[in-house]
């Protein structure tokens, strides 16, 4: 009851911010030559995050499958921040080969990397399998980001060591992660078949967001073992209408969002938690945590399981390293 009241009233938490805080309110100037990669920055929360970081002095890398939309985002930001440096690059997170190509092209720029925001998200209403043999929502929301992060980690660790500025990774998850229960890999195996009878769009989305939280915990553990000056945290941005609902635009969708309007955040409010976790100096050395409304919160019991995080990591390594298309056999899922 208290959490609901705080959300509706916008009462600040221990951080001094709450559900009504905006991305602009929670950020301040960034160090010189600060470089950030933000996926899914062509609209919604990602676009607002990019705009605010550019205003604070960040050099932005905007990877996108839709280069026209990315160029339009770049132009909008430059019209407000004329001295901003923004680089648009091609990336399709549902394709592992595209992720590898993007990282190779980014490395050729010889730029530092201080911040990685894994923000892009997809909700596939219709069942689809990627070229790599993985269910589309899981591949886009989690596995592509897993590989992207894996390939950029060394650059981030190196940048932090050279500059003395802590590197940060932010995984954008959702409270919907708590809706998933059951065996993660078994269900992934079932829905990663060409003719799946077990596909439920909402459950698949919840699975992908659960994977984001588990990825955060395991990566944080590994960074601590390395002694790396890089942190990783995940966030629930809140309920907001974005282009994530684009497959269901129409009267019913409009009606539902109108009826729930008092519970919705504005896009500047929804981007606040991402920007807070990405930049606020109070979070120095804070890692492996889950944030809601700019304050630390608790994920689901399954999301907090170290054994599930390690199990998913091992499976993910297999999926991204396979030389041929991989379809998980639920009967042979990792124990």
Give the chain's count of helices (H) and strands (E).
Answer: 12, 8
Quote the CA–CA distance of 19 and 292 in Å, as a whole number.
8
Query: Measuring CA to CA, which residue among 295, 144, 292 is closest to residue 215?
Result: 144
Query: Measuring CA to CA, which residue among 172, 123, 167 is closest to residue 292?
Result: 172
- Cβ-contact 232, 219 below 8 angstroms: yes
142 given a catalytic annotation:
no
In this structure, the chain runs to a length of 335
Give the count of beta carbons closer than 10 Å to the beta carbon of residue 261.
Answer: 9
Catalytic entry in 7, 142, 199, 290:
199
- Cβ-contact 287, 220 below 8 angstroms: yes
- Cβ-contact 38, 235 below 8 angstroms: no
Residue with tokens 């043999």: 133
Query: Measuring CA to CA, which residue among 69, 164, 72, 58 is closest to residue 117?
Result: 58
Distance from CA of residue 316 to its chain's centroid?
16
Catalytic positions are: 199
């Amino acid at each position: 009851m208290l959490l609901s009241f705080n959300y509706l009233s916008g009462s600040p938490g221990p951080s001094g911010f709450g559900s009504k805080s905006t991305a602009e309110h929670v950020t301040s100037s960034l160090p010189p030559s600060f470089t950030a990669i933000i996926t899914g920055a062509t609209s919604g929360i990602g676009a607002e995050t990019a705009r605010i970081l550019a205003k604070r002095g960040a050099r932005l890398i905007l990877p996108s499958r839709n280069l026209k939309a990315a160029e339009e985002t770049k132009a909008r930001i430059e019209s407000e921040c004329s001295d901003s440096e923004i680089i648009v690059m091609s990336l399709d997170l549902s394709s592992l080969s595209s992720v590898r190509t993007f990282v190779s092209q980014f490395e050729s720029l010889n730029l530092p990397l201080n911040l990685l925001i894994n923000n892009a998200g997809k909700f596939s209403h219709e069942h689809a399998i990627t070229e790599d043999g993985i269910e589309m929502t899981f591949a886009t929301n989690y596995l592509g980001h897993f590989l992207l992060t894996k390939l950029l980690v060394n650059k981030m660790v190196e940048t932090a060591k050279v500059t003395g500025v802590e590197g940060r990774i932010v995984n954008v998850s959702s409270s919907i992660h708590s809706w998933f229960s059951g065996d993660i890999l078994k269900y992934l195996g079932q829905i990663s078949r060409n003719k799946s009878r077990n596909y439920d769009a909402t459950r698949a989305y919840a699975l992908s967001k659960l994977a984001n939280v588990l990825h955060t915990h395991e990566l944080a553990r590994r960074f601590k073992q390395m002694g790396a000056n890089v942190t990783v945290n995940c966030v629930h941005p809140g309920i907001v209408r974005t282009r994530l609902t684009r497959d269901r635009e129409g009267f019913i969708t409009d009606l539902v969002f109108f009826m729930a309007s008092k519970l919705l955040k504005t896009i500047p409010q929804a981007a606040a938690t991402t920007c807070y976790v990405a930049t606020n100096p109070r979070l120095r050395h804070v890692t492996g945590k889950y944030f809601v409304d700019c304050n630390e919160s608790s994920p689901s019991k399954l999301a907090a399981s170290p054994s599930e995080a390690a199990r998913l990591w091992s499976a993910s390594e297999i999926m991204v390293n396979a030389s041929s298309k991989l379809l998980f056999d639920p009967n042979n899922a990792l124990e």
